[in-house]
């Protein structure tokens, strides 16, 4: 069984292809991200410098920075503003008691006893005696000053865990009293009362302190060891912190560290890219998605792109033939598919090149420039011209970006030279790979079609020499079909080329076909209608055989086989039926082409164009009305016969085809069409003619 047939038959091939592509690409990329392992432990002397293979957090340094930040956070306090109010109330109460006791008619001893037991302030006997000796006005002044002094003290912060704050407040009170003109005894009393009320107004808020510490800790930025930064220096002992970093990078042979994380991340990245590539085809190119061989071809092209990047990148990433895969995709599939798929492949290229920004930009540039350059291909050598343009643009871009990264002129010139060489290498590889893909996957590219349309192609030359009528008929059919296919959005170039070859089966017996008969000599007059029908019908099979002999692509062989569908060879069928004594014995199926009916728009339009051209050619005096009627009759006949049931043409398409056929045929047969004449012109010609006769 052929590879192509197997690809068409197996419905699970898409899943298998996807998995195969995933495994191959994943393994290739793994060789790029996987790194050398070191057998080291704390205290070992490093034999060489060890650099970070990627950015990694230095956990030990980060933790140290975090501790410093947390330790810098001071204790948070909660200020109690109600304390001073309570103190003022107590002072006012005490002085009220003092005045009340002073007013009593008792001896001093009794009054001292009452003061000691009633006052909230703990005062010694000397201070209590001062109270009894002071008049009420002095007491009131002292009361007000004590309150003022304490208010000033409590406007500040007296922390519960700092005894020095209380001492500072008491010193401040003493200093304030020293400025006033109270008596010595009154001053000592005021200071004693004030000091007894000095207490903390700031209390430790443990919850708030912890919250701030946590917040500060979270805001501390990680200490990052950058990619290619030296972790361990040659000749120096390896520290515990360095071992930890190496372990995180997965660089120690006795520990995987976070290698598993990298492997999983890489697998996810590959899966996402491949999924997007396949989903794009499924979403916008369903016909291609249904074709297993094209899905396989797409995956193979992606794999080739990665293999080239990995292998050539070992020498220099700037030598990678970045444009090769995009050019092949354009030639084998579609320019928009190439652009989308190649841009996604740039992710893989970037991974292989260790996220080298210059190479990544060049890969993107190659994809876009290939998309712009390969719009119209006339021959394989056009690949060289397009690649040369890509090479020049890549060299200029590499040179420009190089100076943004480094001012090293020699290095930048070398990179630009490599980028230019990579463009030329892309063209060489594209030209080399193209026929291989065309052969294995039976793909007909525009380049191949253009080669097949060359008048110097051996088969076309043979058709011209041995069946000139068929050759000219095929040329006209090609022109008619191409115009119609363009109208319905099909592959116009394919239609043109397929039309060139659709009747090559007539080469076997050219003079059995009317367009090749000269002088009215018709060999069908000498044989019975049964045999004539067989000869006519056999040109389809003969055409397929000849196409295979000349290695004509399968898609054109399909057109040759289907261009008559299962239509009836009506002339010989009717002739035999009319001449037969038992017309009911004449089976219609014996006079029908074996088919199958057309399966594509292009083949269906060639079928219609073939019939229409032959029919219009047979009109004795073609007019626009006659041609239009003939076109309509043939299209209606093919529709009613079910010949267009599998070609995906809509009724709207059919109407476009009618108009395109009419326009093309009017252009071809315009010299034979009778146009309405201007009566005034005719009248003038008659007058001039009569004058000539009189002369």
pLDDT tens digits for range 412-442: 899 899 999 998 899 889 889 988 998 888 8
- Checking if the pLDDT of 94 tops 90, the result is no
Compare 482 and 670 and report the one with higher pLDDT.
482
| DSSP H stretches of helix in 407-552 | 409-440, 446-452, 458-466, 468-487, 492-501, 529-549
- Give the whole-angstrom CA distance, residue 46 versus residue 206: 47
* pLDDT of 680 strictly over 60: no
Q: 499 with 638, same domain?
A: yes
Pairing mode, strands 202-204 and 224-225: unpaired
In a domain, residue 662? The reply is yes
Structure tokens at 625: 């009305």
Looking at the structure, tell me whether residues 588 and 635 fall in a common domain: yes
Q: Last residue of some domain: 204, 234, 267?
A: 204
Instruction: Flag whether 72 is in a domain.
Output: no
Per-residue pLDDT band for 546 (boundaries 50, 70, 90) equals very high
DSSP-assigned letters across all residues of 258-276: THHHHHHHHHHHHHHHHHH
Rounded Cα–Cα distance for residues 486 and 507 (Å): 29
For residue 281, tell me if it sits in a domain: no
Q: Give the per-residue pLDDT at 692.
A: 45
What residue has token string 């499924």? 282
**Separation in Å, CA 405 to CA 34, 400, 411, 632:** 26, 9, 11, 68
95-106 confidence digits (pLDDT tens): 898 888 888 888
pLDDT value of position 6: 46
Asked which of 177, 204, 231 is the last residue of a domain, the reply is 204
Least confident of 28-32, 140-144, 386-390, 686-690: 686-690
CA distances from 67 to 206, 496, 534 (A): 18, 78, 98
Q: Which of 499, 524, 523 is nearest to 614 (CA)?
A: 499
The pLDDT > 90 percentage for the chain reads 33
Q: Does the residue 280 lie in any domain? A: no
Percent of the chain with pLDDT over 70: 91
Q: Report residue 335's pLDDT band, with 50, 70 and 90 as the boundaries.
A: confident
Q: What is the mean pLDDT of residues 532-538?
A: 90
> What's the pTM value of the predicted model, to 2 decimals?
0.61
Closest CA to 95 of 115, 112, 73, 111: 115
Per-residue model confidence (pLDDT) at position 605: 96
Stronger pLDDT, 243 or 482, i.e. the higher one: 482
Task: Indicate the range of 213-217, 246-250, 270-274, 416-420 predicted with least confidence.
Answer: 246-250
**In DSSP terms, which residues pair with 454 in a beta bridge?**
none
Residue pointed to by tokens 């009293």 = 177
Residue 589, domain CATH? 1.10.3210
Domain with 179 in it = 77-204
Peptide bond into 596 cis (omega under 30): yes
Under DSSP, the state recorded for 583 is G
Contact 198, 169 (CB under 8 A): yes
154/85 Cα distance (integer angstroms) = 10
For residues 16, 18, 19 and 24, what is the CA-based torsion angle, rounded to 10 degrees?
A: 120
Q: Is residue 640 part of a domain?
A: yes
Look at residues 443, 468, 492 and tell me which one is the last residue of a structural domain: 443
Structure tokens at 542: 């003969």
d(CA 152, CA 258): 62
The DSSP 8-state label assigned to residue 318 in this structure reads G
In a domain, 690, yes or no: no
Residue among 146, 220, 207, 132 nearest 176 (CA): 146
Residues 298 and 436 occupy one common structural domain: yes
Residue 3 is predicted with a pLDDT of 47
Closest by Cα among 660, 641, 657 to 649: 657
User: Quick one: pLDDT at residue 375?
Assistant: 62
Collapsing DSSP to helix, strand or coil, 75 comes out as: coil
pLDDT, mean of residues 518-529: 81
Q: 190, 182 in Cβ contact below 8 A?
A: yes
Looking at the structure, tell me whether residues 340 and 198 fall in a common domain.
no
- Quote the pLDDT of residue 2: 47
Task: Provide the pLDDT confidence category of residue 672 given band limits of 50, 70 and 90.
Answer: very low
Average the pLDDT over each of 313-327, 469-483, 669-683 and give the range with the smallest value.
Answer: 669-683
**pLDDT tens track for 118-167:** 888 888 888 888 888 888 888 898 889 989 998 988 888 888 888 888 89
Q: How many independent structural domains does the chain possess?
A: 3
Q: Are residues 196 and 316 in the same domain?
A: no
Domain assignment of residue 272, yes or no:
no
E-only strand ranges, 564-678: none
Looking at 504-508, 609-613, 625-629, 685-689, which range is the least confident one?
685-689
- Segment 534-556 shows an average pLDDT of 93
pLDDT of residue 251: 67
Residues 405, 514 within the same domain: no
Q: What is the pLDDT of residue 250?
A: 66
Q: Is residue 252 part of a domain?
A: no
Token pair listed for 632: 């309509």
How far is the C-alpha of 611 from the C-alpha of 569, rounded, in Å? 12
Strands 77-79 and 50-51 turn out to be unpaired
Task: Tell me the average pLDDT across 468-476.
Answer: 94
375-381: Cβ within 8 A, 24+ apart = 375/335, 377/331, 377/446, 377/447, 377/450, 378/450, 379/447, 379/450, 379/451, 380/431, 380/434, 380/447, 380/451
Q: Is residue 106 classed as helix, strand or coil in its secondary structure?
A: coil
Bridge partner residues of 78 (DSSP): 203
Statement to judge: residues 433 and 539 lie in one domain:
no
Whichever domain contains 326, its CATH number is 1.10.1760
Q: Are residues 495 and 621 in the same domain?
A: yes
Both 429 and 488 in one domain: the answer is no
Q: How many whole angstroms separate alpha carbon 383 and alpha carbon 276?
A: 28
CB 304 within 8 A of CB 284: no
pLDDT of 658 strictly over 60: yes
Check whether residue 344 and residue 426 sit in a common domain.
yes
pLDDT at 304 over 50: yes
Q: Are residues 422 and 485 in the same domain?
A: no
For residue 47, what pLDDT is reported?
Answer: 79
Given pLDDT bands bounded at 50, 70 and 90, which one contains residue 11? low
pLDDT greater at residue 692 or residue 377: 377
Q: Which long-range contacts (CB under 8 A, 24 or more apart) does 212-220 make?
A: 212/73, 212/76, 213/70, 213/73, 216/69, 216/70, 216/72, 216/73, 217/66, 217/69, 217/70, 219/69, 220/62, 220/65, 220/66, 220/69
pLDDT over 70 at 685, yes or no: no
Distance of alpha carbon 451 from alpha carbon 500, whole angstroms: 12
Our CA dihedral for 45, 47, 48, 50, rounded to 10 degrees, sits at -50
Element of type H or E holding 370: helix 357-373
Residues 470 and 526 in one domain: yes
What is the predicted pLDDT for the residue at 681? 45
Q: What is the pLDDT of residue 278?
A: 92
Average pLDDT over the chain, rounded to an integer? 85
Distance from C-alpha of 418 to C-alpha of 391, rounded to nearest angstrom: 9
Over range 453-462, report the average pLDDT: 94
Asked whether 190 and 146 are in contact (CB, 8 A), the reply is yes
Query: Please, how many CA atoms are within 13 Å of residue 275, restricted to the half-sphere of its CB?
Result: 6
């Amino acid at each position: 069984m052929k590879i192509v047939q197997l690809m068409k038959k197996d419905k699970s091939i898409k899943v298998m292809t996807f998995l195969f592509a995933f495994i191959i690409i994943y393994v290739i990329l793994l060789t790029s991200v996987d790194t050398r392992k070191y057998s080291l432990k704390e205290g070992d002397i490093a034999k060489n410098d060890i650099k970070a293979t990627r950015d990694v957090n230095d956990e030990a340094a980060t933790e140290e920075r975090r501790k410093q930040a947390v330790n810098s956070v001071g204790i948070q306090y909660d200020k109690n503003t109600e304390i001073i109010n309570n103190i003022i109330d107590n002072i006012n109460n005490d002085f009220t008691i003092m005045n009340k006791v002073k007013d009593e008619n008792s001896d001093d001893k009794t009054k001292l006893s009452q003061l000691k037991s009633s006052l909230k302030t703990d005062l010694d006997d000397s201070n209590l005696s001062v109270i009894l000796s002071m008049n009420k006005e002095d007491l009131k002044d002292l009361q007000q000053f004590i309150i003022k002094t304490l208010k000033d003290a409590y406007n500040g912060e007296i922390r519960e865990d700092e005894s020095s704050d209380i001492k500072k407040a008491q010193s401040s009170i003493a200093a304030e009293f020293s400025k006033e003109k109270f008596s010595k005894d009154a001053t000592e009393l005021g200071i004693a009362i004030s000091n007894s009320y000095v207490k903390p107004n700031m209390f430790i808020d443990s919850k708030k302190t912890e919250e701030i510490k946590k917040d500060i800790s979270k805001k501390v930025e990680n200490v990052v060891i950058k990619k290619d930064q030296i972790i361990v220096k040659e000749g120096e002992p390896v520290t515990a912190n360095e071992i930890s970093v190496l372990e995180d990078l997965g660089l120690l042979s006795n520990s995987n560290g976070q290698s598993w994380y990298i492997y999983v991340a890489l697998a996810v990245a590959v899966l996402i890219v491949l999924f997007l590539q396949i989903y794009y085809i499924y979403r916008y190119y369903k016909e291609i998605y249904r074709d297993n061989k094209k899905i396989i071809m797409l995956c193979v092209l992606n794999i080739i792109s990665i293999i080239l990047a990995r292998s050539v990148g070992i020498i220099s990433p700037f030598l990678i033939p970045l444009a090769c895969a995009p050019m092949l995709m354009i030639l084998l599939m579609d320019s928009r598919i190439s652009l989308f798929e190649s841009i996604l492949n740039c992710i893989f290229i970037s991974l292989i090149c260790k996220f080298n920004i210059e190479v990544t930009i060049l890969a993107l540039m190659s994809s876009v420039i290939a998309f712009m350059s390969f719009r119209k291909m006339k021959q394989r050598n056009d690949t060289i011209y397009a690649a040369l343009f890509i090479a020049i643009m890549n060299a200029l871009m590499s040179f420009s970006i190089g100076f943004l990264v480094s001012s090293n002129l020699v290095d930048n010139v070398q990179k630009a030279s490599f980028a230019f060489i990579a463009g030329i290498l892309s063209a060489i590889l594209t030209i080399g790979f193209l026929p291989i893909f065309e052969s294995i996957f039976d793909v007909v590219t525009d380049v191949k079609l253009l080669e097949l349309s060359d008048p110097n192609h051996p088969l076309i030359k043979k058709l011209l020499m041995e069946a000139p009528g068929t050759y000219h008929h095929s040329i006209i059919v090609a022109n008619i079909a191409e115009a119609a296919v363009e109208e319905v959005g099909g592959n116009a170039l394919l239609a043109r080329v397929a039309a060139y070859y659709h009747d090559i089966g007539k080469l076997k017996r050219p003079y059995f076909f009317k367009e090749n008969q000269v002088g009215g000599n018709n060999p069908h007059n000498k044989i019975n209608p049964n045999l004539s029908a067989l000869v006519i019908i056999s040109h389809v099979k003969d055409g397929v055989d000849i196409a295979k002999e000349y290695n004509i692509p399968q898609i054109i062989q399909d057109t040759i086989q289907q261009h008559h569908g299962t239509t009836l060879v009506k002339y010989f069928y009717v002739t035999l039926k009319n001449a037969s004594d038992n017309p009911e014995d004449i089976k219609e199926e014996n006079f029908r082409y074996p088919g199958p009916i057309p399966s594509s728009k292009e083949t269906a339009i060639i079928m219609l164009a073939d019939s229409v051209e032959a029919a219009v050619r047979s009109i004795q005096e073609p007019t626009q009305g006659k041609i239009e009627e003939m076109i309509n009759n043939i299209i209606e006949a093919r529709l009613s016969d079910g010949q267009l049931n599998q070609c995906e043409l809509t009724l709207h398409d059919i109407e476009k085809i009618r108009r395109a056929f009419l326009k093309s045929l009017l252009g071809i047969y315009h010299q034979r069409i009778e146009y309405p004449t201007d009566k005034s012109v005719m009248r003038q010609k008659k007058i001039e003619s009569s004058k000539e006769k009189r002369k």
